[in-house]
Structure 1
């Protein structure tokens, strides 16, 4: 009953958050197209036509995770990407958005920086000579900050082996004869960088946010602005006014980090309140993904791709309605355009680019220059309603690719993104975790306190499950030797240090639910709240329920060796298997703690190691309890017809 109560609170909160998000997202998506500034730009030439003008493209790749221990093909494939793929696409810029190396130990539990992984990464860049072919901007991810005490540490191999070697946030301007384009990096990696798993969330404190505000102001006169980082905005803890508000003038935010959530969310794209697209890119590590992005007459287009799959197609005009940003793009240029514009890349010559609109073949696009193919059209023929454009490209090797999207030239409601993807990207998960943790904690504390001061129920003939459960909670709450240790331990989870150990090699610190203290720095809590929820839900609550069950059997006169005759084999064995499984989970957490933060952390961990001992002691005490209080409850049970 107690576990059900806590679960209902957590589920209710999640449902409320999701419902609130849906209402907010629905309102955002109904905003009409056409911001004032961009609307006027859309009516001004130049318009997309048949020439190789006002266009450039660039790439993004993320979460490479070059590893010393797993997937020996990961590095060779990346070297092939840096040679063949880059040679074919010839991007102006390549953005590598973090997690260049894996930084996990052989057991996949511990974490540290391996110089050989960084040397492998640098060797790939040198052998492929990719830095001579394009502007290569690689930034840090959370794995690149594992177990690093400071930016000046000799273990901060990013400073030595990366191509860009730029710490912190920065503003890169790409200059063309048709305007400037701003790219702003938001570096949210923590410093010091703790071992895994406590740097899953990025951190942007007040100083970093002030720096980002300054960078954003520098980009106001650029044609377009793109922000990029390793973390999704939903996994960044940012000071006021928040990263989403500061980057609201950008057309898109590029990131990685979530790795398709283990394959459950292969596409994680969404649009924020002010029109900025958030585009998480699937990882290179397991999925071998990369992205081609294009600015064509300041219209933004992109396509997410699988490595070594050709031809690659990007339709730049007419652009996709789903990924339109009316506040940031001159969408009016589409209706004034004279040509459909398509980029088609392949190692072999592209022999045909067939274009259909609404299922009708329009023609074969003409190769103009480089990857650009164009086909004349009358945009006014498609000025009403929603339409679907489909492009089929074939190369000389016989390979074929087909892509398509919806487009419109009317000021209509924007198409909505997948609701779950938008929820994952737009929610502030660290806030949700904090609220859920507090509610589950209060459920733990308040229920046992309330039962302590409530009048216990009178057992009548054939009491049902809920009556007996109610009675067992009263027995537990009024048994001081069990009540006070559990209550104090539950409160301790919220206020005391969970463990003291080497948060970073050579630097001892303390981990609390609200954050980590190490080397004079305080890292705000994030994933700690999630682990706290697991601790309460899968250890504290089951322990209380099991103690109540034991006490109920004791009140009926049973001992551990004789309780089966009161409950039956199936119920008793099932209960013990569940509890042994949960206790095993807690023991494994202790093992994980030792492997991650050292032997000292294992022994100085009240929430992990000590809790296992506490649980065993309390269970033994419950089965052998025979004080005056339990004798009173036994007398009541004896007089009950049920017993």
Structure 2
């Protein structure tokens, strides 16, 4: 603290189960270097200009238990505050925004968080933890030229980042702890991470030296520089970690070029850093597709749309097959005709039709459960958001949970009941359909439904462990649904033949023909 300026911010793990910012459970206020909740603007002053750092605090207050604070939320007051900071930062050489959440996981009112930070050179974030190792590099660029640079976590992956401004050109390196030597090429900088809107890129063309920062606990013994596989020479130390090598940038004024720097220290450790650079601004290179989708999509919007479509499709199926005439079973009907027929039987049987219709409507309207979303504070969870501690938190992860619930339970349950009813129409009982051929397939289908039901039961257990016993009993979408499922399955196999008489007659006529 005496030698280094520390700027730390909260993440979603710091706001789990926090009733309010003044709570003694808010450890950030006590243990952080900044000792201040909320967004802030720090200006670093140098002899050659000012550099602004704007923190975006999108953590939830109150902060519910997991998983309902995976997304950050900014309200109108917070957006106005950030807008004021953005205006203040226009007088600085550069502005760096940073926050825990990627912009794709921040819910913000118009004009949106990306628009507010459009004057920034880069936005630094974390939160996604390399997506379990699937995305070790998550970098992209907003339309206005602002870089969005997610960094893997320190706790499990021991990742950290070094940034440097060299003549107001931003360079950075994402590194693994205790891997030495550390190498960062600051001039010429990477073309992929360049922005003509925020950086004086022409300075590369008129620079006199290649510049490299390199660090190691041991003495650096060599810094070899290659461009397009041609060895230009060894860079020499100027001051501290800065090494330079004279060059003529005019030799590389056209097209793309590849710079490679190999550094060796006295302990024999070798590191190599390379990237592609260019002097022409009209050339084009793009970030990888998936990192851009992950960082630049508004995932909460996609989740809302997908959730709505899935529910709408299931309700539409019920309504269509309820009121459209059922197909005649003639000749050799295919799988599609038999599936359609079973959906007709299902939709025209009141018990199942109204049960599943109400289930779908309830999935939208809720509440899914009522319980202690924060220890000592009661709340209710809906698809469209969470009410807790007198506050309403907009729906985000709730829609994802809803999608998983429908895809992995509600829809399979409907399909399973349709299949059972179809077997009943063919004159089978629960035991006879297993004995009557295709028994392996029947066993597999029942086993699949049993596994899905086990998953639903586990979610009830998770609910009880996380939100309390009351939440377990006041949970229509978890505990009550298990009871409804068992009742519907029982009803399917004990349904009186008189209720299916028309379909049984049709099926017998078809089978005899």
Alignment pair present for 1:397 and 2:267: yes
> Contact (CA 8 Å) 1:225, 1:250: kept in 2 or not?
yes
> Contact (CA 8 Å) 1:275, 1:325: kept in 2 or not?
yes
In the alignment, the residues of structure 1 paired with residue 14 and residue 85 of structure 2 have an alpha-carbon distance, to the nearest angstrom, of 24
> Contact (CA 8 Å) 2:190, 2:275: kept in 1 or not?
yes
Alignment pair present for 1:296 and 2:154: no
> Contact (CA 8 Å) 2:186, 2:213: kept in 1 or not?
yes
- Note the C-alpha offset of 1:133: 2.2
Alignment match of 1:187 (pick from 57, 76, 89): 57
Runs of 4+ in 1 over 3 A off after TM superposition: none
Alignment pair present for 1:136 and 2:20: no
Alignment pair present for 1:238 and 2:87: no
> Contact (CA 8 Å) 1:463, 1:642: kept in 2 or not?
no
The alignment yields a C-alpha RMSD, in angstroms, of: 1.0
Structure 1 residue aligned with 2:242: 372
Q: Deviations over 1:514-562 (max 9, x none)?
A: 0000121000000100110111111111111111111111111111121
Structure 2 residue aligned with 1:147: 17
Between 557-566 and 452-461, report the one with greater CA deviation.
557-566
In the alignment, the residues of structure 1 paired with residue 284 and residue 177 of structure 2 have an alpha-carbon distance, to the nearest angstrom, of 31
Alignment: residue pair count: 513
Q: Deviations over 1:63-103 (max 9, x none)?
A: xxxxxxxxxxxxxxxxxxxxxxxxxxxxxxxxxxxxxxxxx
- 1:417-432, aligned counterparts within 5 Å? 417-432=287-302
Alignment pair present for 1:334 and 2:211: no
Q: Deviations over 1:241-291 (max 9, x none)?
A: 100000000000000000110111110000000000000001112211100
Q: Secondary structure at the match of 1:139?
A: coil
Alignment pair present for 1:162 and 2:55: no
> Contact (CA 8 Å) 2:383, 2:399: kept in 1 or not?
yes
Residues 642 and 330 (structure 1), Cα distance of their counterparts in 2 relative to 1, 3 Å cut: farther
> Contact (CA 8 Å) 2:93, 2:168: kept in 1 or not?
yes
- 1:402-481, aligned counterparts within 5 Å? 402-481=272-351
Structure 2 residue aligned with 1:121: none
In the alignment, the residues of structure 2 paired with residue 568 and residue 365 of structure 1 have an alpha-carbon distance, to the nearest angstrom, of 75
Q: Secondary structure at the match of 2:511?
A: coil
Q: Secondary structure at the match of 2:487?
A: helix
Residues 365 and 447 (structure 1), Cα distance of their counterparts in 2 relative to 1, 3 Å cut: same
In the alignment, the residues of structure 2 paired with residue 200 and residue 519 of structure 1 have an alpha-carbon distance, to the nearest angstrom, of 18
> Contact (CA 8 Å) 1:460, 1:641: kept in 2 or not?
no
In the alignment, the residues of structure 1 paired with residue 243 and residue 234 of structure 2 have an alpha-carbon distance, to the nearest angstrom, of 9
Structure 2 residue aligned with 1:522: 392
Alignment pair present for 1:613 and 2:483: yes
Q: Secondary structure at the match of 1:137?
A: coil
In the alignment, the residues of structure 2 paired with residue 566 and residue 525 of structure 1 have an alpha-carbon distance, to the nearest angstrom, of 48
In the alignment, the residues of structure 2 paired with residue 378 and residue 485 of structure 1 have an alpha-carbon distance, to the nearest angstrom, of 77
In the alignment, the residues of structure 1 paired with residue 382 and residue 75 of structure 2 have an alpha-carbon distance, to the nearest angstrom, of 19
Alignment match of 2:75 (pick from 197, 202, 205): 205
> Contact (CA 8 Å) 2:433, 2:439: kept in 1 or not?
no
- 1:214-233, aligned counterparts within 5 Å? 214-233=84-103
In the alignment, the residues of structure 2 paired with residue 292 and residue 146 of structure 1 have an alpha-carbon distance, to the nearest angstrom, of 29
- Note the C-alpha offset of 1:641: 2.4
Q: Secondary structure at the match of 2:6?
A: strand
Structure 2 residue aligned with 1:260: 130
Q: Secondary structure at the match of 1:136?
A: coil
Structure 2 residue aligned with 1:626: 496
Q: Secondary structure at the match of 1:315?
A: strand
**TM-score using structure 2 length:** 0.99
Q: Secondary structure at the match of 1:384?
A: coil
Alignment match of 2:466 (pick from 592, 596, 601): 596
Q: Secondary structure at the match of 1:226?
A: strand
**TM-score using structure 1 length:** 0.79
In the alignment, the residues of structure 1 paired with residue 143 and residue 436 of structure 2 have an alpha-carbon distance, to the nearest angstrom, of 60
In the alignment, the residues of structure 1 paired with residue 341 and residue 210 of structure 2 have an alpha-carbon distance, to the nearest angstrom, of 75
In the alignment, the residues of structure 2 paired with residue 382 and residue 420 of structure 1 have an alpha-carbon distance, to the nearest angstrom, of 31
- Note the C-alpha offset of 1:464: 2.2
Structure 2 residue aligned with 1:355: 225
> Contact (CA 8 Å) 1:255, 1:280: kept in 2 or not?
yes
Residues 304 and 381 (structure 1), Cα distance of their counterparts in 2 relative to 1, 3 Å cut: same
In the alignment, the residues of structure 2 paired with residue 335 and residue 369 of structure 1 have an alpha-carbon distance, to the nearest angstrom, of 23
Q: Secondary structure at the match of 1:304?
A: strand
In the alignment, the residues of structure 1 paired with residue 214 and residue 143 of structure 2 have an alpha-carbon distance, to the nearest angstrom, of 33
- Note the C-alpha offset of 1:567: 4.8
> Contact (CA 8 Å) 1:149, 1:193: kept in 2 or not?
yes
In the alignment, the residues of structure 2 paired with residue 615 and residue 642 of structure 1 have an alpha-carbon distance, to the nearest angstrom, of 34
Structure 2 residue aligned with 1:43: none
In the alignment, the residues of structure 1 paired with residue 259 and residue 419 of structure 2 have an alpha-carbon distance, to the nearest angstrom, of 65
> Contact (CA 8 Å) 2:102, 2:125: kept in 1 or not?
yes
In the alignment, the residues of structure 1 paired with residue 326 and residue 253 of structure 2 have an alpha-carbon distance, to the nearest angstrom, of 74
> Contact (CA 8 Å) 2:126, 2:153: kept in 1 or not?
yes
RCO higher in 1 or 2 (8 Å CA, sep ≥ 6)? Answer: 1
> Contact (CA 8 Å) 2:255, 2:283: kept in 1 or not?
no
In the alignment, the residues of structure 1 paired with residue 430 and residue 90 of structure 2 have an alpha-carbon distance, to the nearest angstrom, of 73
> Contact (CA 8 Å) 2:196, 2:281: kept in 1 or not?
no
Q: Secondary structure at the match of 2:118?
A: coil
Q: Deviations over 1:99-144 (max 9, x none)?
A: xxxxxxxxxxxxxxxxxxxxxxxxxxxxxxxx12211111100000
Alignment pair present for 1:172 and 2:42: yes
